[in-house]
Amino acid sequence: MRTKRESRYLKKARLAHELAQAVVPRYSHINSPQRYTQPQLVACVILKVYLGLSYRDTEEWLLAADGICQALGLEEIPDHSTLSRVVKRLGLNVVRQMNQLLLAQLRVEEEMIALDGTGFSTTQASSYYLTRKGGWRQDYVKGLMGVGTQSQLILYWLYGLSPGNEMAYLNRLRRGVHRYGKLVKGRRQWTLLADRGFDGQAARPTDLIPPRRPIIRPDRVQRFHRVEHARALRLWGQRWKCETVFSVIKRLSGATLASRSRLRQQRELGFKALAYNLHR
């Protein structure tokens, strides 16, 4: 007997709801209307990002998706303004906690972790309009991410302003991904891969980061030879898995951050990363 197929959207909705239930309080206040629980609304927002929809289109999509509403236990469809408010109210640390819980359930341990950044546009204007307007907008924001080369999951992310140098984010990214390094005799042992944009005082001799020229200091010479040796062993190519992750994110949820304020853009970037990990 053939088993009944289940939509991947149902699977993502259930998983997002379970993660939100473990991290987010059931209601925001004891005297709130309590028409929906906060985990239900967070799961809806994650689906919105995953599908690359606006808040209004998400409301219409939920009206047509009976199976999703049943999986989330929704008796009434939340209004688009309700979804917008829950994103405004939600702290960035909640999105990080949900991602950490997901990675803990998957027991992620990596021998090599790659760092890279990609740009996200802050306007949804078409290329034709921008050309007719008399030039391209130069303002965009940067998403910097640490990706496990084995699991291809996003382990940590940061929000940055562009144009800007990536070396300023190296230490924070290193601290964020360290917990997912391979555990050997009680210590986390892993190798960091990054491009030349991350080279600076924070780079260590053991990192696989090509040094900028001139290469004079002994530690930079040592790092240069380590990178060349990694190229010969075809390990350096693992860094390109970051580009694969960025391509999937932009194909799934778009290359634009629709939020206006910097704070909400940070949350939207976090939701994009979490939606990608759920997709994997």
Separation CA 63–CA 179 (nearest Å): 41
Q: How confident is the model at residue 2 (pLDDT cuts 50, 70, 90)?
A: low
The amino acid at residue 15 is L
**Where in the chain are the domains?**
8-90, 108-279
Per the omega criterion (within 30 degrees of 0), is the bond before 163 cis?
yes
CB neighbours (10 Å) of residue 19? 25
With a pLDDT cut of 70, the percent of the chain lying above it is 93
The DSSP letter of residue 90 is: S
Q: How confident is the model at residue 1 (pLDDT cuts 50, 70, 90)?
A: very low
**Torsion on CA atoms 268, 17, 10, 106, rounded to nearest 10:** 90
Predicted local confidence at residue 103, as pLDDT = 93
Predicted local confidence at residue 31, as pLDDT = 82
Three-state DSSP state, 256: strand
Name the E strands within the chain: 112-121, 140-148, 154-161, 182-184, 187-189, 191-193
- What are the tens digits of pLDDT across the range 66-87? 888 888 888 888 888 888 888 8
What's the angle, vertex CA 226, arms to CA 222 and CA 229, rounded to 5? 140
Higher-scoring residue by pLDDT: 171, 6: 171
| Global confidence as pTM | 0.84
Rounded (to 5) percent helix, strand, coil in the chain: 55, 15, 35
Q: Work out the angle between the directed axes of helices 55-64 and 38-51 (0-180°, nearest 10).
A: 100
Q: How confident is the model at residue 193 (pLDDT cuts 50, 70, 90)?
A: very high
Separation CA 89–CA 10 (nearest Å): 25
Separation CA 129–CA 135 (nearest Å): 9
- Asked if pLDDT for residue 25 goes beyond 50, the answer is yes
Question: Residue 206, Cα to own-chain centre: how many angstroms?
Answer: 26
Radius of gyration of the chain (CA): 21
Q: How confident is the model at residue 133 (pLDDT cuts 50, 70, 90)?
A: low
Q: How confident is the model at residue 138 (pLDDT cuts 50, 70, 90)?
A: low
